[in-house]
Amino acid sequence: MSVIGNRRGGNPVTLNLDKSCTRLKRVAFTEKKFQEGWLQDLIETNPEILPIDDIEPAFASPVSVGREVSTKSGFIDNLLLSPRGYLTIVETKLWRNPEARRQVVAQLIDYAKDISYWTFQQLDKEVRNYNMQRNHSNFGILDTLRQKEEIDEIDEPVIVDTISRNLKTGRLLLLAVGDGIRESVEEMAEFLQKTPQLHFTLALVELQLYELGSTGNMPYIVIPQIVARTAEVTRAVVRVEGKDIDSIKISVEPEITTVDKLEAVKLVKRGTLTEDDYFSALKQNVNTDDDYIFAIKLKRDMEELGCTIQWKKASFVVTLPDPGKSGQQLSLLVVPIDGRVYIRPELKDQLGYLGLPEQIALDYARQSCKLFNNCQESQKSPGSWSRTVSLKELREQYGEYISVVRNIIDQIREAAKKQTSG
């Protein structure tokens, strides 16, 4: 793990109607009216003010689930949770002395170590206590996340597993947030080496406050800046071969343990964090590397057919953009991280909405489900399968299945072409 320092931005100005500019006045958090409690309140009620999406996208769009959360090492100022199940620990600080930086970084890492011993049930209890005190409700984790985003019933156990796994591995985002932060790469790196078993990301975030008016009262402009953050460093194996100095060969290779993993490295391209996290979770849920590698191949092949991959909290969905350029995405296949695949009846409704033959969706369901034992078109939801299919089953019938998909895509495109020309 390395540390990247890259301060960007400058002093904001307002452009007036007469094209004159006014430089805004910077307000220091060290003024009496801006204490750490004020900053914690700001983050609690407006967690989106933090530039989390620029640091780790999987942690983005968080909701507040804790304030002054008790741990063995002290009290966490703000605890945030994203709809995908990723926790952010925030420690606020007004940087009055150089030692404050060392203290807050060390404190954050201590919190991460403490949280890594928690279970989902313990975190859920903390969230319920927080909601009782702040919101007068008994909402646990899932109900709290539903206030932010709709959660499909099928995604609930996956979110629980994700949170549990992230707690166990220390997959956390640690944010030191304050005003007037000065980066110190060396000091941050010193602390990071002490916790190699935890997979956290740590960042220093400065919130700059400016008066929008001249009265010294609200409103203010708050500008967040990432001062420094950690970044993963890819491990490698340096291989030295040869019996004498003239025949020595040196090569650097990714650190892999099996041929299958090497093949996966060749197949998958570096994607978004959501994609990386999806395949990381899938790897832990499937029985063999063959299924994991097949999922990567499936994604790649679908993209080559002109399909789009939509990343959800616990699955990826293969969709075909409407050839008629409406912007509608036509759902073809859902691949959750638990190693199953299935088609849903949405395609039938989507085609009908576009004025395209709904029969295409029914044919897709009937032709594809025949490839799998004990699978038929659902009587309850025509246009879908009566059961989910494992990645292993799909892999074994993949040649026939991909032929069905190509045929269905061709039918959709031809129907859209006739509609346009007619």
Same domain, 317 and 214: no
Provide the number of structural domains found in the chain.
2
Q: Is 54 domain-assigned? A: yes
Same-domain pairing of 8 and 129: yes
As a whole number of angstroms, the distance between CA 65 and CA 124 comes to: 9
Residue written as token pair 């049930």: 121
- The candidate with the shortest Cα–Cα distance to 227, out of 180, 191, 172, is 180
**223 in a structural domain:** yes
Domain hosting 219: range is 2-231
Residue pair 416/322 in contact (Cβ under 8 Å)? The answer is yes
Tell me the CA distances in angstroms from 218 to 10, 258, 263, 319, 378, one per residue in order: 22, 60, 57, 47, 59
303 and 225 fall within a common domain? no
**Distance between CA atoms of 396 and 291, rounded to whole angstroms?**
10
Would you give per-residue pLDDT tens digits along the chain (422 residues)?
555 555 555 677 877 788 788 778 777 766 666 667 888 999 999 999 999 988 887 888 899 999 999 999 999 999 999 988 899 999 988 765 555 566 788 889 899 999 999 999 999 999 999 999 998 899 999 999 998 888 777 678 778 888 998 898 888 999 988 876 655 544 555 555 556 566 788 888 888 888 776 655 667 788 888 877 775 443 344 444 555 545 545 444 433 333 333 344 344 444 455 787 788 888 878 878 899 999 999 999 999 999 999 988 778 999 999 998 888 999 999 998 889 999 989 999 999 999 999 999 999 999 999 999 999 999 888 999 999 999 999 999 999 999 999 999 999 999 999 988 86
For residue 297, the tally of other CB atoms under 10 A from its CB is 16
Whether 51 and 182 share a structural domain: yes
- On whether the CB atoms of residues 293 and 266 are closer than 8 A, the answer is no
CA–CA gap between residue 218 and residue 214 (Å, rounded): 10
174 plus 65 within the same structural domain: yes
What pLDDT, on a 0 to 100 scale, did the predictor assign at position 303?
Answer: 95
Tell whether omega for the bond before 51 is within 30 degrees of 0, i.e. cis: no
Tell me how far apart the alpha carbons of residues 313 and 229 are, in angstroms, rounded to a whole number.
25
* CB neighbours of residue 293 within 10 Å: 20
**DSSP-assigned letters across all residues of 182-198:** ---HHHHHHHHTT-TT-
Instruction: Among 231, 260, 290, identify where a domain stops.
Output: 231
N-term to C-term CA, the chain: 59
Question: Whole-prediction pTM value?
Answer: 0.63
The reply to whether 286 falls in a domain is: no
Cβ atoms of 60 and 75 closer than 8 Å: no
Q: Is 236 exposed, middle or buried (0-12, 13-18, 19+ CB in 10 A)?
A: exposed
**Is residue 316, in this structure, part of any structural domain at all?**
yes
Domain boundary among 231, 247, 282: 231
C-alpha 85/C-alpha 60 separation (Å) is 10
Q: Are residues 104 and 194 in the same domain?
A: yes
Q: Is residue 388 part of a domain?
A: yes
Q: Are strands 25-27 and 63-71 parallel, antiparallel or unpaired?
A: unpaired
| 282 assigned to some structural domain | no
Same domain flag for 98 and 211: yes
pLDDT score, position 262: 37
Residues 6+ apart with CB under 8 A from 332: 302, 307, 318, 319, 320, 343, 347, 364, 405, 408
Residues 316 and 205 in one domain: no
Q: Is residue 289 part of a domain?
A: no
- For residues 210 and 313, membership in a common domain is answered with no
Q: Which residues contact 226 (CB under 8 A, 6 or more apart)?
A: 6, 51, 54, 55, 203, 204, 205
Quickly count: other Cβ atoms within 10 Å of residue 393's Cβ: 17
Read out DSSP for 210-279?
EESSSSS-S-EEEEEEEEEEEE----EEEEEE-SSTTS-EEEEEE--SSHHHHHHHHHPPP--HHHHHHH
Domain-located, residue 125: yes
Q: 163 by DSSP, 3-state: which?
A: helix
- Whether 207 and 331 share a structural domain: no
| Residue 219 pLDDT | 75
Pairing relationship of beta strands 173-179 and 87-94 according to DSSP bridges: parallel
State the sign of the Cα–Cα–Cα–Cα dihedral 122, 123, 127, 130: positive
Same domain, 225 and 333: no
Amino acid in the structure at residue 350: Q
Which of 213, 231, 249 is the endpoint of a domain? 231
- Assess whether 305 and 221 both reside in one domain: no
